């Protein structure tokens, strides 16, 4: 994705062409970028060839998941809907792990019937529920237990999950109790220890700490886990100030861990696979000048992309065509929704804009469309996938008749 002759282009297709053909707002993904991300992810950890389970929650588009499956990835799901979607995309159940603190009996039933690789339980009650259902089915079910390693992921507090005060996983004491319980059960096959300490992690040190905690607890209980599921969380650069996660150091820490513990590593990455594959193309509806600000009112809003409103997340905003004339302004980019948090960013020194200009919001491939809603009864955007010069509609724009 770059400017070619001053026009922002995805692979071989310009943003202008996409907007003309599909209107705006439109989510647009690059296949080439997806391919690159997956290849790099595999390369970073190639010495122990982990099972990579794509976190479906980050992007739930079935056509995109199909492409991801074609690279050999499995799935991490957190609801029956996500499990159904992963299966619909053709992902092998033996590559699917089911995480989440509140799986209902209906969801557990479904997961057992589909013979997925692991149900990663997050409480004693859940283990008992799985056991009860497995008993009724006379089946031994493969489970993992999610440990809360009480490790600060040093990321946004809203997306931090590995601290004691978070609802996720169980502490070491309960973990040990559950392991003992599982060993005596005829219906639970304890295969995995899982963790996930948070998302958008850019520092490898929390991962090192997490591995130390896991190592200690395994030594204490003396149980050999066939799988260690390290979750996802690898961060991406949303702006040039973001530092990059040091994959080399994370990889080294895992290799050190594997010297003492012979297990297969599972990862559950979402953002690092799809985050930078997507842009949101939108149009300036109005430019509204007040005494203190220049508001650029876009046709995309917080219902299409909620990350800035929900987490104060920063997404780069770019013009679709770079102008020669150097006239710069400070703009506040907002959507049409009736909430003051419906704001994408304030940009200083942005090239002068006019109404109907096209704008690009960057790095929205993860937790963009998957967190979209119909708030203010706005239809959800189109999603398209670019492969070279080919454009494929992977989800049509929602029609008013779909919800009215
Ligand atoms: N595994 C589990 C158990 C998770 O809860 C998550 C994300 C992942 C894997 C994938 O994490 P990733 O590799 O994508 O960081 N909506 C927020 C992010 C929430 C993440 C929730 N869990 C955002 O837009 O930043």
Predicted pLDDT of residue 161 = 82
Closest C-alpha to ligand 1, atom 19:
159
CA 319-20-404 angle, 5° bins: 105
Confidence band for 83, pLDDT divided at 50, 70 and 90: very high
Q: What is the mean pLDDT of the chain?
A: 96
Residue spans of alpha helices (H) in 154-237 = 172-183, 205-221
Answer whether 202's CB lies under 8 Å from 242's CB.
yes
pLDDT tier at 164, thresholds 50, 70, 90:
confident
Ligand 1 center from residue 37 Cα (angstroms): 17
Q: How far is the CA of 364 from the centre of ligand 1 (A)?
A: 14
How far away, in angstroms, is 79 Cα from ligand 1 center?
14
Q: Are 355 and 292 in contact (CB under 8 A)?
A: no
**Atom of ligand 1 minimally distant from the CA of 313:** 25
Is it true that the peptide bond before 25 is cis, omega within 30 degrees of 0?
yes
Annotated active-site residue 282? The verdict is: no
pLDDT in tens, 132-147: 999 999 999 999 999 9
φ/ψ region of 48 (left if φ > 0, alpha if ψ in -120 to 50, else beta) reads alpha
This prediction has a pTM of 0.97
Determine which one of 28, 53, 338, 362 is catalytic: 338
Distance of alpha carbon 205 from alpha carbon 233, whole angstroms: 13
Closest atom, ligand 1, to C-alpha of 307: 24
Contact 336, 299 (CB under 8 A): yes
Tell me the average pLDDT across 115-119: 98
Among the atoms of ligand 1, which is closest to the Cα of residue 371? 16
Q: What is the pLDDT of residue 398?
A: 98
For 298-332, what is each residue's pLDDT tens digit? 999 999 999 999 999 999 999 999 998 778 899 99
From residue 161, alpha-carbon distances to 100, 177, 264, 312 in Å are: 11, 22, 23, 18
Region 248-270 average pLDDT: 97
Write down all domains in the chain, each with its CATH number in brackets: 2-29+275-403 (2.40.37.10), 31-273 (3.20.20.10)
DSSP bridge partners of 76: 55, 97
d(CA 136, CA 109): 10
Average pLDDT over residues 175-183: 96
Confidence check: pLDDT of 58 > 80: yes
The yes-or-no verdict on residue 222 having pLDDT over 90 is: no
Q: What percent of the chain lies above the pLDDT cut of 90?
A: 92
- Per-residue pLDDT band for 109 (boundaries 50, 70, 90) equals very high
Best mutation site among 74, 268, 307, 372 for ligand 1, i.e. most ligand atoms within 8 A of its Cβ?
A: 268
- Whose CA is closest to atom 14 on ligand 1? 270
Integer-rounded Cα Rg, in Å, for the chain is 23
Residue 80, pLDDT score: 98
Ligand 1 site: residues with CB under 6 angstroms?
55, 58, 76, 99, 159, 196, 199-200, 231-234, 268-272, 307, 311, 366-367
Kindly give the distance from the C-alpha atom of residue 64 to the centroid of ligand 1, in angstroms, as a whole number: 18
Alpha carbon of 200 to ligand 1 centroid (Å): 8
Token pair belonging to 307: 């990350």
**Number of C-beta neighbours around residue 309 at 10 A:** 19
Three-state secondary-structure class, residue 377: helix
What is the structure's pLDDT at 87? Answer: 98
Q: Which two tokens stand for residue 2?
A: 């770059």
Core vs surface per residue 238-270: b (16+ CB within 10 A) or e = beeeeeebebeebbebbeebbeebebbbbbbbb
With the most atoms of ligand 1 within 8 angstroms of its CB, the residue from 58, 78, 305 to mutate is: 58
Q: How many CA atoms lie within 13 A of 9 on its CB side?
A: 14
């Amino acid at each position: 994705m770059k400017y070619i002759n001053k026009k922002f282009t995805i692979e071989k297709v310009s943003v202008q062409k996409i907007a003309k053909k599909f209107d705006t707002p439109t989510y647009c993904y690059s296949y080439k970028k997806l391919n690159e991300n997956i290849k790099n992810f595999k390369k970073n950890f190639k010495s122990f060839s982990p099972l990579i389970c794509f976190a479906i929650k980050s992007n739930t588009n079935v056509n995109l998941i199909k492409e991801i499956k074609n690279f050999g990835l499995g799935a991490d799901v957190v609801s029956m809907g996500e499990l159904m979607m992963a299966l619909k995309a053709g992902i092998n159940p033996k590559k699917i792990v089911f995480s989440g603190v509140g799986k209902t009996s209906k969801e557990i039933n479904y997961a057992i019937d589909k013979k997925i690789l692991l149900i990663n339980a997050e409480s004693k009650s859940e283990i008992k529920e799985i056991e009860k259902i497995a008993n009724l089915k006379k089946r031994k079910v493969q489970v993992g237990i999610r440990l809360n390693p009480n490790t600060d992921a040093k990321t946004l507090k809203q997306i931090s999950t590995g601290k004691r005060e978070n609802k996720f996983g169980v502490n070491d004491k309960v973990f040990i109790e559950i392991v003992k319980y599982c060993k005596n059960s005829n219906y639970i096959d304890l295969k995995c220890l899982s963790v996930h300490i948070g998302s958008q992690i850019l520092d490898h040190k929390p991962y090192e700490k997490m591995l130390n905690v896991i190592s200690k607890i395994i030594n204490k209980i003396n149980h050999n886990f066939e799988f260690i599921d390290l979750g996802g969380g690898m961060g991406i650069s949303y702006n040039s100030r973001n530092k990059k996660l040091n994959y080399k150091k994370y990889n080294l820490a895992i290799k050190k861990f594997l010297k003492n513990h012979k297990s297969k590593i599972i990862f559950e990455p979402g953002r690092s696979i799809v985050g930078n594959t997507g842009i949101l193309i939108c149009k300036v509806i109005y430019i509204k000048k007040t005494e203190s600000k220049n508001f650029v009112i876009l046709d995309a809003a917080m219902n299409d992309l909620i990350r800035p409103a929900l987490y104060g997340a920063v997404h780069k905003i770019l013009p679709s065509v770079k102008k020669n004339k150097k006239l710069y302004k400070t703009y506040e980019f907002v959507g049409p929704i009736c909430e003051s948090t419906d704001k994408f960013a304030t940009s200083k020194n942005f090239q002068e804009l006019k109404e109907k200009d096209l704008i690009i919001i960057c790095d929205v491939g993860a937790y963009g469309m998957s967190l979209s809603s119909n708030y203010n009864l706005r239809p959800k955007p189109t999603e398209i996938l670019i492969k070279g010069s080919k454009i494929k509609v992977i989800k049509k724009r929602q029609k008013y008749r779909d919800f009215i």
